[in-house]
Each structure stands twice: as structure tokens, then as C-alpha cells.
Amino acid sequence: MATRRRNALYRAIGIVGTSRIITRIHPLVYRITGGRWFVGRNFGVQNVIVTMTGRKTGKTREVPLYAFADGHRMVVIGSRAGGDREPAWVGNLRANPAATLRVGREVRRVLARETDGAERDRLWALAAAGYPGYETYRERTRRRIPVIVLEPVGSPEPGATPGPVATPEPAED
């Protein structure tokens, strides 16, 4: 019974977290607050904003994601709350791995790459330990959930605005 309630809670968190209204408002609130309070960390997990180029439109897209530190890199999970369709942002990063990562007020240029094999298994375990909902999402879907590493490029740009982020559009590509 407790497992069923816990799974229902994680499904609810996933539905709210991937809703269009949240994914549109969260990056703005994150920038205004500098990633403090509930927009910077919830359920004990670091929130970040990944800014990328849409693979179909070429427009700048901002996506709020949970992220997990692995040394100097950050790891993000393409779970889409266990949905059978992959999140659009994963395809965007595959098509154009150059992105920016906002962690609090710090903006870093990063290169994204999908992991596999032992590295993927280790990073999945890291993420699932930080947010057990990922195991619930894995059980809900038949697809293999992508584990993406964001590797820093160059030096961080404290407080900088990454590229043309002034009028980003939601991640729908």
C-alpha cells in the first residue's frame, strides 16, 4: 500500500513538473530568484535550466530539469514522468549538443551527450538515489530513459545571460 501511494506521489510530481504552465513559468521565476527557494531545489534535488536550440525551429528553448552533480559535470534524465514519448529536449540536445546550463545565478556553456553501458548504469543509480521517482517512471514505460551528461565547456560566466535567452520559447520541438 505504501509503495502504491509513493508511486502515485511520484506520478503526480511528474505530471505537475512536466506541465506546460510549469515549464513556461519556471525558467523566468528561476532567473528572478537566482535559483533560490523552491525553484532551485525541491524534493532534495537541484533544479537547473538548460537552454538549447530547437531541432525543428532553430529557436532557443529553455527547460527546467532536475540535475545531479557528477564531479564537474551535471546529469539530467529524460524521463518525461515515465511517459512513452521521449521529451522533446532530448532530441534537441542530440541534434545540437551545445547548450547552456543555469545553476542558480551561474551560467555555464555545456556539451550534452547521451550515456550508455556501465556509465549510464552508474549515473542512473546516482539520479535514482537522489530522486527515487525515476525508478517509478522506469517501471511505467517501455522505452529506455535517456541519461544525459552535460560537460562544461570553457569557464563559467557568473550572472551572465546565455546567448539569445531574452525571449525563449517552451521546449516543444
Q: pLDDT per residue over 69-91, tens digit each?
A: 999 999 999 999 888 999 999 99
State if pTM tops 0.85.
no
CATH code, residues 2-170: 2.30.110.10
* Percent of residues, the chain, with pLDDT higher than 70: 71
SS (H, E, C) the chain: CHHHHHHHHHHHHHHHHCCHHHHHHHHHHHHHHCCCHHHCEECCEEEEEEEEECCCCCCEEEEEEEEEEECCEEEEECCHHHCCCCCHHHHHHHHCCEEEEEECCEEEEEEEEECCHHHHHHHHHHHHHHCCHHHHHHHHCCCCCCEEEEEEEEEEEECCCCCCCCCCEECCC
**Domain spans, the chain:** 2-170
